[in-house]
Amino acid sequence: MIETVIRKRIEILADQAQARRVTDIIDKTGITGWTITPVTSGKGREGRWREERVMGTDKVFILTIASQENAAALAEKLAPILTSHGLLLTMWDVEVIRGERF
Amino acid sequence: MIETVIRKRIEILADQAQARRVTDIIDKTGITGWTITPVTSGKGREGRWREERVMGTDKVFILTIASQENAAALAEKLAPILTSHGLLLTMWDVEVIRGERF
Amino acid sequence: MIETVIRKRIEILADQAQARRVTDIIDKTGITGWTITPVTSGKGREGRWREERVMGTDKVFILTIASQENAAALAEKLAPILTSHGLLLTMWDVEVIRGERF
Amino acid sequence: MGIQALTSPVVLFFVLGLLAAFARSDLEIPEAIAKGMSLYLMAAIGLKGGIEVAESGLDGTVLAALAAGVGAGLLMPVYAYWLLKGLGRLSRINASAVAAHYGSISVVTFVTAVEIYTLQGNPPQGYMVAVMASMESPAILAGLLLARGLGSGDAQDRKALAQEVLLNPSVVLLLGAFAIGVIAGPQGFADVRPFFDGIFKGVLCLFLLDMGLIAARRIMDARAMTWRLVIIAILLPLVNGAIGTSLGVAIGLDTGSAAALGVLCASASYIAVPAAMRLALPEADPGIYLTMSLSITFPFNVLINIGLIGSLAAYLTGGGVAAP
Amino acid sequence: MGIQALTSPVVLFFVLGLLAAFARSDLEIPEAIAKGMSLYLMAAIGLKGGIEVAESGLDGTVLAALAAGVGAGLLMPVYAYWLLKGLGRLSRINASAVAAHYGSISVVTFVTAVEIYTLQGNPPQGYMVAVMASMESPAILAGLLLARGLGSGDAQDRKALAQEVLLNPSVVLLLGAFAIGVIAGPQGFADVRPFFDGIFKGVLCLFLLDMGLIAARRIMDARAMTWRLVIIAILLPLVNGAIGTSLGVAIGLDTGSAAALGVLCASASYIAVPAAMRLALPEADPGIYLTMSLSITFPFNVLINIGLIGSLAAYLTGGGVAAP
Amino acid sequence: MGIQALTSPVVLFFVLGLLAAFARSDLEIPEAIAKGMSLYLMAAIGLKGGIEVAESGLDGTVLAALAAGVGAGLLMPVYAYWLLKGLGRLSRINASAVAAHYGSISVVTFVTAVEIYTLQGNPPQGYMVAVMASMESPAILAGLLLARGLGSGDAQDRKALAQEVLLNPSVVLLLGAFAIGVIAGPQGFADVRPFFDGIFKGVLCLFLLDMGLIAARRIMDARAMTWRLVIIAILLPLVNGAIGTSLGVAIGLDTGSAAALGVLCASASYIAVPAAMRLALPEADPGIYLTMSLSITFPFNVLINIGLIGSLAAYLTGGGVAAP
Ligand SMILES: Nc1ncnc2c1ncn2[C@@H]1O[C@H](COP(=O)(O)O)[C@@H](O)[C@H]1O
Ligand SMILES: Nc1ncnc2c1ncn2[C@@H]1O[C@H](COP(=O)(O)O)[C@@H](O)[C@H]1O
Ligand SMILES: Nc1ncnc2c1ncn2[C@@H]1O[C@H](COP(=O)(O)O)[C@@H](O)[C@H]1O
Ligand code: NA
Ligand code: NA
Ligand code: NA
């Protein structure tokens, strides 16, 4: 059986305009990479929104796979701006192959 | 270290046309929000499909983060229509920051 | 309370051009289905990329829900081509309703 | 429909799409572009219809044409339903869903027919666009009644559905653009003519290329198709087309308009009705209703039936068979 | 702007969008198409402005017009800010963000005004496109100074912001296309005229359809709107429009150009400034600034204020009120 | 290529794209729009080529041109491969992948060249579109043989690949539209001319704007580029262009067509071949092959080499250097 190791998967929902700020922080934390996926619409305390890239109001998901320490370090760095920058962060354990890459 | 709490993340694959029905049920369950992401294509028992929004045959993922009780309540409400409405539901535990929001 | 069972959720990041190869392997492993979602951009060891479907350089996420054995079999089959074909594979346990379907 | 129509680029691009998909080429038109072209075609056809009505005024037959269209939209699903349950062996839900498709209309089939009949010297009247718009929804109602009987669903579902049926995007855009055409009139149209008229036929070519690709791919993936259903998907447009054309002639429409009414009756929806069925009858199988309307009836109409209906209309109005 | 403008297809499609969304129809234009049309409109308007300048040369008023535009862009946010904090009861951050929107400009409002003034026989000068481009960014700067005072943010944030402000896509495309127009000149333009000029007004129709849909949907979802803010969103374009028009007349612009300057001052940004605010003032609430600029000021300008400003300009330049 | 070409809006929009991206502006064209424009350009160029052939018939040189194109497509990768392995120090896999790109063609380079040569009074023959289509795939085959030798891959992979190579979307659309042009002929084309011909050059402008943005961004992100590779990416189009042009003159093509054959040989693929390499040689590094073909060779051809090749063709066919 193929060997897997446990890593943390972190998922951050952010305004498109804030994506660069978040990925810069990921890079600085020393995490090896990230992946951005699109988001269509949502609802939160501030009401409903739809993707309206023309008006720059759309959001994206930023995913990154990291070791437990790097994940903790990233959460620590993002925590202060979560509310002011309207970010949503969740994380959970996943199994990966080729664990040395993350 | 930043404090995290455990919440349930629920992911529902649904026809675009059914998305409103699902989010209405989420709202009524008292969950604070949801996020919709696009889906390109898939294969299940009924064969393969591709996104064809022109024909209204595309699907979306509806994500929502909820407390264990709300998650259970939501699953309970959706269960009866899962098969008739062609929904796919998975859920798992995730860590979130600012747990009071969910 | 509704009854749930534990299944494995496997997520594979792949070049659009390799998606067919991956889903063929999923089909051959006997897994009942898969779902493809779009990816916008990313960064890894080979640098940053953005979606550029005109040039065929975009990537997709391929998701599949499978039993533990099927998941292990799939990981086994994909492992040899992970590096040469630039795939990224993560998996974790999820709860599903109507477990007999997966 | 004669040689001329089959060598029209519009039809040839459709055939190219079919061939490319059957040969399993990866040729693909981005969905946003396809949707954009579809909206463009509806806005343009609505606008042009409205302009024509602003120019020519309405003659007395327009009300008769509207009534004929709506009536046909309500009644065609009934016999279609029996055919689909009997000969087609479909379940009640699936038979109702398919029946709704055949009672409603296909904008692109209509547009293609207008191009062809205009080439043949029999342009349909501008108000036929309003007839088309009014035929989109009645069949949905008929289909749902067949599926669920009266008094089905809860109040909220009904509201969502009424909205989907009455305010579905095609109807709103077609009628809205039609009204704009009537208000703006020919001189308001002059400025936007290069966009809504000049490039219209070219856009239609690319849209039909995409329709060919989608129609062929869908039938290759189809699992639920049976020979019985294929036969029905050809029989219904033949019968509905003949009935619609005769009805048109009977109420005094000119050759082109009578043929257009025939084409509306013959065509099957693949945008508005599937969307409504997804919402209201999620248990029905899109593998059946989309494959029938899109992959069999649509090509049959574009390649063969538009021509047959045109000849029938010419024959019935005493004009003899239209010159090719 | 009289009867003629209100029966123009451009304005009618905007109204159709508003009505369709208020009626809760699902009509929707794919975002990629909307963005594509927006880029097309900017490239075309820039190019056409440049061609006109290549043809007519520049008269002495162009520098005055540029200075007036930039000056207004820097100063309008200041009084808007006090109004928004006082009468509008907004927080400092939100007041600054909204103020920045009203100091900047809306390309589509300008384009619509150019179409209408040209119909009325008062075409603005080609260089007004350059004035428009130069007015996009100063207000962003003013807004950020109001929000944060001098010396805010770290070095990296400032760099990202400077880039966003100076090289924002609208500015680059407008000025770039303008420069191409100047270089290529009329005979270079001949080949691309069918695309950038012929179909321009038709594309504008579909774009305004989308704007109507978005504007109406946003106000129906709005939670943070108050009557005070609604009043300000109408007051500001009235005041700014009058000031801009008077300024234009004072520096010697012709009727159409003075009115165009008035419209630039009256219009509020809904593309460039929101993008900058998302980046630089993420705490500000888009539910306030987008709803005000897009759902109140934009329709008010398109449906009413463009006409008022045109009449004021005609009156001030002694031409009397323009014929409808 | 002289002053005239460099002040053509088509080339200027490309330069604008390069400059905007180098200045790190966020200007961006939605991918669906870019893909839509690319399909439109291929359909239009194919159709127009077919119409011309329908009008003028084929002269005897067409077969020679086809043979020359296919032959060049098979042989150019061979010497490119040795250059890339030797001078370029690439691995076997990477050298093969790059070589395949240079043996194949770029539709947009060809289209730009046709616009420029037509402006200069030397329009290439319509059948050169068929030559172009026939040159897309042979180089892919050559590249894969270089990479893997004969008999590589399993049966299923080969089938998928054969499909990708023979039925790749560009080839299908170009040849399909070409055939439609031949069948429909000039009078069938009349109706769709405003779309496929009228707005063609304008669409090309926006497409080249996007190409400029993508080319510049890619080279700024490039990590694997070396000076050796940059030199090869300029050397190959020079050499291939000269060989292709001479070949064209040798087989008796007119000035414009010989130059067009030169441009086809000089151009490097950035759509069809990358797609095939992603599938068949996933180990090859797109950071190398896309950067070379798209960010170096493409701009070099558009800005400089098309002009050089045109002059060479004029010189070789005895027409002297084309007037600017
Ligand atoms: N095992 C699976 N893993 C992931 N997605 C699935 C799976 N089975 C079905 N799906 C998705 O659910 C959709 C409907 O499935 P079905 O109802 O089985 O036809 C498919 O088109 C897929 O997108
Ligand atoms: N409970 C939730 N589950 C999933 N997504 C959420 C949830 N709450 C908020 N969101 C997403 O986060 C965005 C911003 O939320 P908020 O800051 O509460 O307005 C929303 O538009 C949703 O897309
Ligand atoms: N640690 C990571 N977390 C999330 N995505 C990653 C990670 N590393 C790589 N990726 C994704 O995988 C792609 C290829 O990575 P690589 O093969 O390292 O260049 C990147 O472009 C990212 O989209
Ligand atoms: Na019908
Ligand atoms: Na303003
Ligand atoms: Na070449």
Average the pLDDT over D124-135 and give the result. Answer: 94
Pocket test for ligand 3, best of C41, C43, C50, C51 (most atoms within 8 A of CB): C43
Beta strand A88-96 pairing with C88-96: antiparallel
Q: Max alpha carbon distance in chain B (Å)? A: 50
Strand ranges inside chain F, DSSP E: none
- Residue of D279, D284, D285, D289 lying closest to D162 (CA atoms): D279
Distance separating alpha carbons of residues D258 and B91, to the nearest angstrom: 57
User: Into how many domains does chain D fold?
Assistant: 1
Please give the distance, rounded to the nearest whole angstrom, from the Cα atom of residue B61 to the centre of ligand 1.
12
Model confidence at E285: pLDDT above 80 = yes
Strand ranges inside F36-82, DSSP E: none
Is the Cβ–Cβ distance between D290 and D274 less than 8 Å?
yes
Concatenated DSSP letters of E5-56: HHTSHHHHHHHHHHHHHHTT------HHHHHHHHHHHHHHHHHHHHHHHHHH
List alpha helices for A1-102, DSSP H. Answer: 19-28, 68-82
Instruction: Return the structure tokens found at A15.
Output: 């305004």
Range A5-95 classified under CATH 3.30.70.120: yes
| Closest C-alpha to ligand 3, atom 9 | C44
- Residue of F185, F172, F202 lying closest to F37 (CA atoms): F202
Cα–Cα separations (whole angstroms), residue C30 to B83, C72, F316: 21, 12, 64
Please give the distance, rounded to the nearest whole angstrom, from the Cα atom of residue D226 to the centre of ligand 4.
21
Amino acid at D99: A
Pocket test for ligand 3, best of A26, A35, A100 (most atoms within 8 A of CB): A35
Q: Is C48 helix (H, G, I), strand (E, B) or coil?
A: strand
Distance separating alpha carbons of residues C91 and D7, to the nearest angstrom: 54
CA distance to partner chain B, nearest, from residue D165 (Å): 13
Q: Is A15 helix (H, G, I), strand (E, B) or coil?
A: strand
E abuts C (3+ Cβ pairs < 8 Å): no
Torsion of CA F163, F167, F169, F175, to 10 degrees: 170
Q: Which residue among C7, C33, C37 places its CB closest to the CB of B43? A: C33
Count Cβ–Cβ pairs < 8 Å, chain A vs chain E.
51
What pLDDT score was predicted for residue E322?
47
Cα-flanking dihedrals φ and ψ of residue F87, to 5°? -60, -40
Whether residues A55 and E270 touch (CB distance < 8 A) is answered with yes
Min mean pLDDT across D47-51, E77-81, F81-85, F218-222 is at F218-222
Model confidence at A25: pLDDT above 80 = yes
Q: What is the CA radius of gyration of chain C?
A: 15
Model confidence at E324: pLDDT above 50 = no
Kindly identify the ligand whose nearest atom is closest to the C-alpha of F298.
6
Q: Which atom of ligand 2 is nearest to the CA of A13?
A: 12
Instruction: Return the structure tokens found at F265.
Output: 């040989």
Average the pLDDT over D41-58 and give the result. Answer: 92
Report the Cα–Cα distance between both ends of chain A, in Å, rounded: 21
Q: Is D247 helix (H, G, I), strand (E, B) or coil?
A: helix
Q: Max alpha carbon distance in chain A (Å)? A: 50
Instruction: Walk along chain C (102 residues) and give the pLDDT tens digit of each residue.
Output: 678 899 999 999 998 889 999 999 999 999 999 999 999 889 887 777 765 555 555 899 999 999 999 999 999 999 988 888 889 999 999 999 887 778
Give the rounded percent of residues in chain C with a pLDDT score beyond 70: 91
Model confidence at D151: pLDDT above 90 = no
Q: Which helix (H) or strand (E) holds E176?
A: helix E169-190
Condensed to tens digits (0 to 9), the pLDDT of residues D208-262 reads: 999 999 999 988 877 778 999 999 999 999 999 999 999 999 999 999 999 999 9
Q: Which residue among A43, A76, A89 places its CB closest to the CB of B1? A: A76
Number of neighbouring beta carbons within 10 Å of residue E289: 31
Condensed to tens digits (0 to 9), the pLDDT of residues E159-192 reads: 777 777 788 888 999 999 999 999 999 988 999 9
The answer as to whether E323 is a domain residue is no
The answer as to whether E324 is a domain residue is no
The residue whose two tokens read 């296309």 is: E177
**What pLDDT band is residue D308 in, cutting at 50, 70 and 90?**
very high
Distance separating alpha carbons of residues D302 and D305, to the nearest angstrom: 7
Distance separating alpha carbons of residues E85 and F52, to the nearest angstrom: 67
- Residue of D113, D100, D216 lying closest to D147 (CA atoms): D100
Concatenated DSSP letters of E206-220: HHHHHHHHHHHHHHH
Does residue B49 have its Cβ closer than 6 Å to ligand 2?
no
A abuts E (3+ Cβ pairs < 8 Å): yes
CA distance to partner chain D, nearest, from residue E251 (Å): 33
C-chain CB neighbours of A1 within 8 Å are: 72, 76
| Closest C-alpha to ligand 1, atom 8 | C33
Instruction: Return the structure tokens found at D89.
Output: 């062996």
Condensed to tens digits (0 to 9), the pLDDT of residues B34-77 reads: 999 999 889 887 777 765 555 556 899 999 999 999 999 999 99
**Residues constituting chain D:** 324
Q: Which residue among F16, F30, F33 places its CB closest to the CB of E176? A: F16
Beta bridge partners, A62, equal A12, A36
Average the pLDDT over D170-194 and give the result. Answer: 94
C-chain CB neighbours of A66 within 8 Å are: none
Indicate if the alpha-carbon torsion angle A65, A66, A72, A76 is positive or negative. Answer: negative
- Residue of D117, D146, D119, D114 lying closest to D131 (CA atoms): D114
Kindly identify the ligand whose nearest atom is closest to the C-alpha of F237.
6
Tell me the pLDDT of chain B averaged across its residues. 88
The answer as to whether F323 is a domain residue is no
Whether residues B55 and D270 touch (CB distance < 8 A) is answered with yes
Instruction: Return the structure tokens found at E72.
Output: 């207004």
Pocket test for ligand 3, best of A27, A34, A60, A70 (most atoms within 8 A of CB): A34
Beta bridge partners, A59, equal A15
What pLDDT score was predicted for residue E320?
52
**What CATH number corresponds to the domain at position F149?**
1.20.1530.20
Q: Which domain holds residue E187?
A: 3-317
Distance separating alpha carbons of residues D289 and D298, to the nearest angstrom: 12
Distance separating alpha carbons of residues A95 and A84, to the nearest angstrom: 32
Condensed to tens digits (0 to 9), the pLDDT of residues E236-276 reads: 999 999 999 999 999 999 999 999 999 999 999 988 898 88
Distance separating alpha carbons of residues F223 and F212, to the nearest angstrom: 19
pTM, full prediction = 0.93
Does residue A61 have its Cβ closer than 6 Å to ligand 2?
no
| Closest C-alpha to ligand 1, atom 5 | C34
| Closest C-alpha to ligand 2, atom 23 | A42
Cα–Cα separations (whole angstroms), residue F131 to D77, F42, F262: 52, 14, 12
Tell me the pLDDT of chain F averaged across its residues. 91
ipTM of model: 0.92
A-chain CB neighbours of E148 within 8 Å are: none
Concatenated DSSP letters of C11-24: EEEEEHHHHHHHHH
Cα–Cα separations (whole angstroms), residue F287 to C46, C98, F214, F291, F294: 8, 45, 13, 6, 11
Give the rounded percent of residues in chain E with a pLDDT score beyond 90: 75
Beta strand A88-96 pairing with A5-15: antiparallel
| Closest C-alpha to ligand 3, atom 2 | A33
The residues, ordered by sequence, that sit 6+ positions from B45 with a Cβ below 8 Å of its Cβ are C32, C33, C101
Cα-flanking dihedrals φ and ψ of residue E124, to 5°? -65, 155
Beta bridge partners, C44, equal C47
Beta bridge partners, B50, equal B41
**What pLDDT band is residue F1 in, cutting at 50, 70 and 90?**
very low
- Residue of F124, F104, F101 lying closest to F114 (CA atoms): F124
Beta bridge partners, F294, equal none
Please give the distance, rounded to the nearest whole angstrom, from the Cα atom of residue F16 to the centre of ligand 2.
39
CA distance to partner chain F, nearest, from residue D195 (Å): 9
Count Cβ–Cβ pairs < 8 Å, chain D vs chain F.
91
Does residue C32 have its Cβ closer than 6 Å to ligand 1?
yes
What pLDDT score was predicted for residue C50?
66
Average the pLDDT over F278-298 and give the result. Answer: 91
What pLDDT score was predicted for residue C96?
94
Q: Which atom of ligand 1 is nearest to the CA of B86?
A: 17
Q: Max alpha carbon distance in chain D (Å)? A: 55
Whether residues C32 and B44 touch (CB distance < 8 A) is answered with yes
B4: left (phi over 0), alpha (psi -120 to 50) or beta: beta
Kindly identify the ligand whose nearest atom is closest to the C-alpha of F261.
6
Q: Which residue among C17, C46, C47 places its CB closest to the CB of F275? A: C17
Condensed to tens digits (0 to 9), the pLDDT of residues E185-244 reads: 998 899 999 999 999 999 999 999 999 999 999 888 777 789 999 999 999 999 999 999
What pLDDT score was predicted for residue D320?
52
Tell me the pLDDT of chain E averaged across its residues. 91
- Residue of E14, E139, E28 lying closest to E76 (CA atoms): E139
| Closest C-alpha to ligand 3, atom 16 | C44
Does residue A68 have its Cβ closer than 6 Å to ligand 3?
no
The answer as to whether E313 is a domain residue is yes
Please give the distance, rounded to the nearest whole angstrom, from the Cα atom of residue E324 to the centre of ligand 3.
61
- Residue of E302, E307, E274, E306 lying closest to E289 (CA atoms): E274
Average the pLDDT over D32-55 and give the result. Answer: 93
Average the pLDDT over F269-281 and give the result. Answer: 87
The residues, ordered by sequence, that sit 6+ positions from F101 with a Cβ below 8 Å of its Cβ are F139, F143, F268, F269, F270, F273, F274, F289, F292, F293
Indicate if the alpha-carbon torsion angle F209, F211, F213, F219 is positive or negative. Answer: negative
Cα–Cα separations (whole angstroms), residue C41 to C44, D209, D248: 10, 30, 56
Condensed to tens digits (0 to 9), the pLDDT of residues F215-242 reads: 999 888 777 789 999 999 999 999 999 9
Whether residues B56 and D31 touch (CB distance < 8 A) is answered with no
Amino acid at F155: A
Is the Cβ–Cβ distance between B69 and B10 less than 8 Å?
no
Model confidence at A95: pLDDT above 80 = yes
The answer as to whether F292 is a domain residue is yes
Q: Which residue among F39, F163, F195 places its CB closest to the CB of D201? A: F195
Give me the residues near ligand 4 (ion), CB cutoff below 5 Å: D 265, 267
User: Does the beta carbon of D35 lie under 8 angstroms from any beta carbon of chain B?
Assistant: yes
